[in-house]
Structure 1
Amino acid sequence: MSLKTKTLHGFFWSLTQQFGVQLTMILVTIFLARILEPADFGLIGMLAVFMALGNSLIDAGMTSSLIRTKDADQRDFSTVFFINLAVGVLVYLAMVFSAGLISEFFNQPALKAIIKVYCLTFLIYPFSAVQRTRLVKNMDFKTELKITIPSTIVGGLLGLVLAFQGFGVWALVGMNLAQNLLLSVQFWVYSNWRPSWVIDWERFKYHFGYGAKLTLAGVINSVFSNIYHLVIGKFFPVTQLGYYTKADSLKQIPVKNISNTLSKVTFPMFSEIQDDDEKLKVAYKRIMQQVLFWLTPVMALSAVLAEPLFRIVLTEKWIPAVPYFQILCFIGLMFPIHSYNLNILKVKGRSDLFLKLEIIKKSLTVVGIIIALPYGIFALLWTQVILNLVAFGINSFYSGRFIGYNVWSQLRDILPIFLIGGVAAIGGWFVKGSIGNFPAVDWIQLIGGGLIGIMIYFLISWGAKSEPFVDFRKIILKK
């Protein structure tokens, strides 16, 4: 199977998996949001930074090294498996011993017990990390689909049962644990790989040597990607953190479906052609354009139609989260650009530069938070938007040097997509504003504004012969 065919197959099954998982989670989230209170989501949001930090430490960048290593064998996989398992135990123990301090920091006594149960995922995840990595390396996303969908459904149903029974925040804890446990069990069942009782320290040094800088960069990124949860949880009421957490999670739905789908496919694909800069440039450009072509109208119209969307999906009690969501939609558009730029550095083996850039960007984040915090939560959110634009400039400058695709070339290729998306959003906003107040107005605004916006977007793309639109017709539809 050629790399192109393998990539297209991987994209299809990865996309199917993402949509299946996200559709299930959307339905579960809708019901949970109607039953539970914003404060319940706020309590889980307080743990976001610690969960992301722990997962980064467990992985240590070594699974990325396995994907990148073309001749990885049983000793490589087994070594990474046992190291991950040992680190997982240490991370869980660290969280248990720190539970009291964390609950005191947020002034939320309930967090102490929640942490000890919620963080059991640190013991579960390492058991299946290598199995999952082998599937990604082989672009076998069809098998991953068979694993993730049932786990998500069963875990979601358990969460709903607990919520209906009045368990509050523990419904979210139980759902998370059930999903992770089922995932781990099924990866063992479906995978034909089993670890050998061996730890090769030379292989460990090789993978850790590549992954160490990625790990430190991942730790920094994990902390700062979730630092707004930490800051809002510390300095603002837990209900406001609940609004922010829910707005952020809804923003992630289209981002994860469209961007993360291709991100899982692109890293192994980029690794296959890491020595051919011209192929890397062409592949990077076309993938980035495709992702933004589909993501832009979704994020733009979601921001414009956020109020009726929230009222229909989550009920009136979540309306205060609407302005948070609208601002975060801008950040969602930047995510795939960051991801693919940084993937170039990873496949080129420049984990040292990856780490350096993360330190620079996160230092700017600290300065931004310090300046914005006295002016309230919306100042923090707009600062986040500005910092994402700065991060784009930094990431694309350095990755562009490796493949001959500089910042201005990237902007030239993506700005037309944003402009067309902006016009579509204006059309959706105009339809929404033109509809008066009468029964089912929210449904009419959402459906009418969404349909008109989408029609405008694709008509302009077709008329202007937008490059990603033409690519999609030639390559994807033909295939």
Structure 2
Amino acid sequence: MSLKKKALAGVFWSALEQFGNQIIGFVISIVLARLLLPEEFGLIAMLAIFMGLGGALINSGLTQSLIRTENPNDEDFSTVFYFNLLGSVVIYGLVSLLAPFIADFYNQPQLTLIVRVYCIVFIINAFAAVQTTRLSKKMDFRTQMLVSTPSLVISGFVGIGLALYGFGVWSLVWSRIAQAIASTVQLWYWSKWRPLWLFSSEKFTEHFNFGFKLTLSGILDTVFVNAYTIIIGKFFAPAQVGFYSKADGLQMLPVRVISGIVSKITYPLFSEIQNDDIRLKSVYKRIMQMVIFLVAPTLIFIAVLGEPIFRFLYTEKWLPAVPYFQILCAAGILYPIHAYNLQILNVKGRSDLFLKLEVAKKIVLLIVLAVSFQFGIYGLLFGSVIFSMMAFGINTHYTGKFINYTAWHQTKDLLPTILLALFSGLIVYGLDSMLDGLKFHDFVRISICGLVGGGVYLLFSILLQLESLVELKTLIKRKS
């Protein structure tokens, strides 16, 4: 199969998986949010950093090294498999020992047992990390969809069932464990790959030399991405952590759906053309423009409609999360671009520069956090918007050098789309204010404003002949 056909097939199955799973997950989250309290979500959100660290180590840079390696064999895969498995056991042991200290830090005694049970997913997921990597290497996203969707459904049934029987926060814990078990069992069944009884020190050194820098970068990123949750959890009530977590999760939903469709194929796709800088720049630019064409208006529209959306989906008890949500939407617009810029470094084999950029960004984030914390929780949130813009400049530094696509050039390509999305958002804001004054139902407000805003955005995109719209139409025509 040609590269183009593989990419288009990847987009199709990745899109099907993303849309299906996000819709299912979204419905599950709505039901659970109505059954559980914000503080119960807050307790789980406090563990996000530990789950993220475990994920960064288990889905380590070694698996990324496997994807970029040309023709890896069973010796490569088996070596990484056993290293990940051993690492997951060590990580789980350390987290279990630290559980009482984690509970003391947040002043939440019940976290000790929650941590020790919840983090079992480290070991479960380690059994399937290489299987997932092999499927991604082959761009076999159809099989990944056949695994992830049933796993999510099983997780939902477990979580909702336990919540209905009054298990509270434990319904979220066992839901996550059920999803990990279901996913791992299916991946072993569908992938047909089994590790050999061997461990090559030579192969380990080869993958480790590339991957450990990515792992360190992932650890740094996890710590600092969750810095807001840590600070809010330490200095504010669990309910505030729940509000922040729900706002962040809903804000990331369209980003994950839209950018996730493409993100799953970009790394293996970029890897196949890593030595052709002109082609790599062309593909990168087109992907970036298409994603922002969809992400920017979506985030702006849902930010404007935050109040009716939260009240309609989650009920009145979640309305304090609305201002958090609106601010986070502004920070989320550039999220996909950060990831794509860093992927260029990975496919070029420069994980050392990847780590260097991560360190630089974390230093900047520490400064932003130190300043913004002085202004309370809203200061922290506005600080995240400022940091997102600063991180864009940092992430594009080496992209400009490797493929001659600087921050300035990327900004010029993205700005028309973002400005048009803002203009359409102003129209949505005015219309929603009028409908609110006329006491229209929340669902009606969301529907009318969404249709009008989307229509205005699409109309002006056609009139202005936005490059991103042209690329999106070309992709759709090729697939059909």
Instruction: Report the CA distance between 1:439 and its aligned residue.
Output: 5.9
Q: 2:178: which partner in 1?
A: 178
Alignment deviations for residues 118-173 of structure 1 (CA, whole Å, 9 cap, x no partner): 00001101100001001111110011111111110011111000000001000100
Greater Cα shift, 181-190 or 329-338: 329-338
SS at match of 1:72: coil
Task: Look up the SS of the partner of 1:443 in the other structure.
Answer: helix
Cα distance between partner residues in 2 of 1:366 and 1:438: 46
> In structure 1, what is the equivalent of residue 200 of structure 2?
200
Q: Distance in 2 between matches of 1:48 and 1:260?
A: 20
> Are 1:320 and 2:282 matched, yes or no?
no
Amino acid at match of 1:238: P
Q: Deviations over 1:172-208 (max 9, x none)?
A: 0011000011000000010121100000010000001
Give the equivalent residue in structure 1 for 2:40: 40
The secondary structure found in structure 1 opposite 2:333 is: helix
* Equivalent position SS for 2:28: helix
Q: Does 2:274 match 1:274? A: yes
CA deviation string 1:63-113 (max 9, x = no partner): 000000012111000000000000000000011100000000000001001
Aligned-partner residue type, residue 364 of structure 1: V
Equivalent-residue separation in structure 2 for 1:137 and 1:129 (angstroms): 12
* C-alpha distance in structure 1 between counterparts of 2:61 and 2:433, whole Å: 49
Aligned ranges 1:96-115 → 2 under 5 Å: 96-115=96-115
Partner amino acid for 1:376? G
For residues 256 and 475 of structure 1, what CA distance do their matches in structure 2 show?
20
Q: CA deviation at 1:374?
A: 2.2
Could you tell me how far 1:59 is from its partner in structure 2? 2.9
Match of 2:31 in 1: 31
- Distance apart, 1:296 and its partner CA: 1.2
Give CA-to-partner distance per residue, 1:391-430, whole Å, 9 cap, x none: 0001112212100111111011000110111111111111
Deviations 1:28-84 (A, max 9, x none): 111100110000010001001111112112233000000000121110000000000
CA contact (8 A) 1:48 1:226 kept: yes
Aligned partner of 1:346 in structure 2 is 346
Q: Aligned-residue CA RMSD in angstroms?
A: 1.0
> In structure 1, what is the Cα distance between the partners aligned to 2:478 and 2:270?
23
Residue 65 of structure 2: aligned partner: 65
Give identity over the alignment, percent: 47
1:472 equivalenced with 2:472 (yes/no):
yes
Moved more, 51-60 or 233-242: 51-60
Counterpart Cα distance in 1 of 2:258 and 2:474: 20
Matches within 5 A, 1:236-315: 236-315=236-315
Q: 3-state DSSP class of the match of 1:435? A: helix
CA contact under 8 A between 1:60 and 1:208: conserved in structure 2? no
- For 1:175, give the aligned amino acid: S
Change (3 A) 1:441 1:84: same
Task: Report the 3-state secondary structure (helix = DSSP H, G, I; strand = E; otherwise coil) of the residue aligned with 2:34.
Answer: helix
Change in 2 beyond 3 A, CA 1:233/1:183: same
Mapping for residues 163-174 of structure 1, pairs under 5 Å: 163-174=163-174
Amino acid at match of 2:183: L
Structure 2 CA distance for aligned equivalents of residues 174 and 181 of structure 1: 10
Match of 2:152 in 1: 152
Structure 1 gaps of 5+ residues are: none
C-alpha displacement at 1:370, in angstroms?
1.3
Runs of 4+ aligned structure 1 residues displaced above 3 Å come to: 436-440
Range moving further from structure 2, 241-250 or 469-478: 469-478
The aligned counterpart of 1:49 is 49
- Aligned 8 A contact 2:155 2:178 in 1: yes
Asked whether the 8 Å contact 2:58–2:129 carries over to 1, the reply is no
Name the aligned partner's letter for residue 390 of structure 1. M
Where 2:334 maps in the other structure, the secondary structure is: helix
For residue 146 of structure 2, what is the amino acid of its counterpart?
A: K
Matching residue's letter, 1:270:
F
**Does the CA-based 8 Å contact 1:62-1:207 persist in structure 2?**
yes
**1:297 is paired with a residue of what secondary structure?**
helix
Query: 2:436, 2:445 within 8 Å by CA — same for their partners in 1?
Result: no
- Contact 1:96–1:115 (CA<8 Å) still a contact in 2? yes
Whether the 8 Å contact between 2:431 and 2:449 is mirrored in structure 1 is: yes
- Paired position in structure 2 for 1:228: 228
Contact 1:58 1:91 in 2 (8 A): no
Could you state the TM-score of these two structures normalised by the residue count of structure 1?
Answer: 0.99
Whether the aligned pair in 1 keeps the contact of 2:342 and 2:354 (CA below 8 Å) is yes
| 1:131 counterpart = 2:131 | yes
Q: Distance in 2 between matches of 1:13 and 1:333?
A: 24
How much does 1:227 deviate? 1.0
- For residues 438 and 473 of structure 1, the distance between their equivalents in structure 2, rounded to whole angstroms, comes to 38
The residue identity in structure 2 corresponding to 1:14 is: S
Quote the Cα distance in structure 1 between the aligned partners of 2:63 and 2:412. 34
Tell me if the contact between 1:55 and 1:122 (Cα under 8 Å) persists in the aligned partners. yes
Secondary structure, counterpart of 1:376 in structure 2: helix
Partner of 2:329: 329
Structure 1 274/436 Cα, relative in aligned 2: closer, same or farther at 3 Å?
A: closer
